[in-house]
Amino acid sequence: MTNAIAVENIQQMAERIRENVQRVIVGKDEAIDLAIIALLCRGHILVEDAPGIGKTTLAKALAQSLKCTFKRIQFTPDLMPTDVLGVNFYNQRSGDFQFREGPIFSQMLLADEINRATPRTQSSLLEAMQERQATVDGETRPLPAPFLVMATQNPIEMEGTFPLPEAQLDRFMLRLRLGYPTPEEESDILLRFERDSDPPKIDAVTDAAELSDMQRLASQVMIDDTVRMYIVDITQASRRHQSLTLGASPRAGLALYKASQARAALYGRDFVTPDDVKALAIPVLAHRLIVASNARLRGRTAAQIVRDILAEVPVPIER
């Protein structure tokens, strides 16, 4: 398959998913595209925003569009790791121990309000998100493919929330925010759901096999050496930045690399440009960085620091 045909196939699949999700999500085209980019990269998604914005609706719509097995965990302070992974129990009829799978054994897992659970329970997802397997009582079990975690998170300053550990945040390929709708979008929401407040159930427009093929094709999008070094320069600059106590990890650089490939394919190109990298730098990097305390006191955010880095790092000239 030539690169041009591969890119066209990716575009067509992405367009079907986008149109399907837009049946229940009004506006938010950029957030939907970011979610599709993460899907193409086998990446996990962290959706952060205030309650009632549509985080859970977006996750459900994506799962329904993909025709994948879907399970949802409502994270609460009393949730235990076994509630996520599963548990071995003694079956009195058979006289032996059997394993009851937890909700993590699904192709798409919605971790709803993940930061309401304790750090111990949050960390139960680490192995699954990185290695796509789960270990319970010393036995390791593979997870189904594709395996994607979409976690929703309330702002950390809200009551009853626990900050996600740095290792957990680093395993999310990108973080996206929906934001409040514009007046026009909110009016459309009221009209669309005036008779039924529940979003309509949508049909699948693709399946796991096609998604797997498109993931493979997206990873073949060409990245020139100069653009690759541009990504390296950005991650290196974050580690030297005086306003950060923790810069971007090599995993973050790889995520930016793969996401740039997927974005190029999404926009009909079989090559990556510096603009792809710049457009994804904040969603991919900002949630992984730790801002120094003196910078936080001055009101600096990780997103602002990423913008500063992008302004400082020389952009390669297109050939």
Write out pLDDT tens, residues 150-200.
888 876 555 667 778 788 888 899 998 877 777 887 888 787 776 666 666
Reported as a single tens digit per residue, the pLDDT across 266-306 is 988 889 999 999 999 999 999 999 888 888 888 888 899 99
Strands (E), the chain: 44-48, 70-74, 86-91, 96-101, 108-112, 133-136, 139-142, 148-153, 172-176, 244-246, 290-291
Reported as a single tens digit per residue, the pLDDT across 32-81 is 899 999 989 999 999 887 777 777 788 888 888 888 888 889 888 888 88
- Identify the domain boundary among 204, 219, 234: 219
Tell me: do 199 and 244 sit in the same domain.
no
Provide the number of structural domains found in the chain. Answer: 2
pTM of structure: 0.86
- Identify the domain boundary among 152, 187, 219: 219
CATH code assigned at 72: 3.40.50.300
Tell me: do 79 and 186 sit in the same domain.
yes
Tell me: do 187 and 227 sit in the same domain.
no
Tell me: do 133 and 238 sit in the same domain.
no
Tell me: do 191 and 148 sit in the same domain.
yes
Per-residue HEC secondary structure of 297-316 comes to: HCCCCHHHHHHHHHHHCCCC
CATH code assigned at 319: 1.10.8.80
Range of the domain at 47: 1-219
Tell me: do 176 and 53 sit in the same domain.
yes
| Structural element, H or E, at residue 214 | helix 208-218
Tell me: do 143 and 26 sit in the same domain.
yes
